[in-house]
C-alpha cells in the first residue's frame, strides 16, 4: 500500500491560487456569496469567472489526465508556494504543471479562457495524453 505511486502522479496539474470568499461567525461558517458583504469582496469578479472556467475545463478535458486544484494562499501549509511563485493576495495565480511537477506555464490574474484552454491542450499533446487527431475531432 505505501510506496506505490497513484495515478495522480501521471496527471497534468492545474493549480489556482486565489483567496476564497468565506465568513466565519461563531462556531459555523456562512456562505459568503449569500451575504451583502460579497458585493464588496475584492475578488468578486475573479470568483465569478472561475465558476465559469472550471466546469468548462472539466467538461472539455475531463479528470483522467488533468488534476484541478483550487488553493487558498492564506493556508499556512501553502507558505512555501506563496514565496516560490510570489503570490499576491489580491491577484489569482494559475500554475500549470507537467506530470513530473515541473512548471509548464504561470498566469497572473485571469487569463482569457481560450488561452488557458489552449495551454492545457498543448501540454496534453506534448505529454502524449492527447494526439493531434483527437484534438481536431474535439474542435
Q: What is the DSSP string of 45-107?
A: HHHHHHHHHHHHHHHHH-SSSEEEEEE-TTSGGGHHHHHHHT--TTS-EEEEE-TTS-EEEEE
| Number of domains comprising the chain | 1
Angle in degrees, 0-180, between the axes of helices 44-61 and 113-126, rounded to the nearest 10: 40
What does the pLDDT read at residue 8?
Answer: 47
Tell me, yes or no, whether 6 lies in a domain: no
Give the model's confidence band at 47: pLDDT under 50 very low, under 70 low, under 90 confident, else very high.
confident
Predicted confidence at residue 5, as pLDDT, reads: 44
The parent domain of residue 80 ranges over 13-138
State the virtual CA torsion across 121, 123, 129, 135 in degrees, nearest 10.
30
% of the chain surpassing 70 pLDDT? 71
Specify if 129 maps to a domain: yes
At 74, give phi and psi (nearest 5°). Answer: -75, -10
What are 6-43's pLDDT values in tens digits? Answer: 444 689 999 999 887 655 545 555 555 555 555 555 56
Residue 4 located in a structural domain: no
E strand or H helix at 15: strand 12-17
Q: How confident is the model at residue 50 (pLDDT cuts 50, 70, 90)?
A: confident
The CATH number of the domain holding residue 123 is: 3.40.30.10
Would 8 be classed as within a structural domain?
no
d(CA 11, CA 97): 9
Are the beta carbons of 56 and 45 closer than 8 angstroms?
no
Q: Is residue 32 part of a domain?
A: yes
Residues 6+ apart with CB under 8 A from 30: 23, 24
7 within a domain of the structure (yes/no): no
Q: Is residue 43 part of a domain?
A: yes
Amino acid at each position: 500500500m505505501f510506496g506505490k505511486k497513484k495515478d495522480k502522479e501521471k496527471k497534468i496539474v492545474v493549480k489556482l491560487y486565489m483567496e476564497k470568499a468565506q465568513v466565519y461567525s461563531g462556531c459555523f461558517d456562512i456562505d459568503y456569496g449569500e451575504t451583502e458583504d460579497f458585493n464588496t469582496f475584492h475578488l468578486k469578479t475573479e470568483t465569478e469567472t472561475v465558476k465559469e472556467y472550471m466546469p468548462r475545463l472539466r467538461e472539455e478535458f475531463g479528470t483522467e489526465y488533468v488534476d484541478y486544484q483550487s488553493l487558498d494562499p492564506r493556508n499556512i501549509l501553502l507558505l512555501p508556494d506563496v514565496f516560490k511563485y510570489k503570490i499576491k493576495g489580491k491577484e489569482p495565480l494559475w500554475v500549470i504543471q507537467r506530470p513530473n511537477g515541473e512548471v509548464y506555464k504561470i498566469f497572473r490574474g485571469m487569463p482569457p479562457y481560450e488561452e488557458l484552454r489552449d495551454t492545457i491542450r498543448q501540454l496534453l499533446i506534448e505529454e502524449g495524453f492527447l494526439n493531434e487527431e483527437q484534438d481536431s475531432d474535439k474542435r
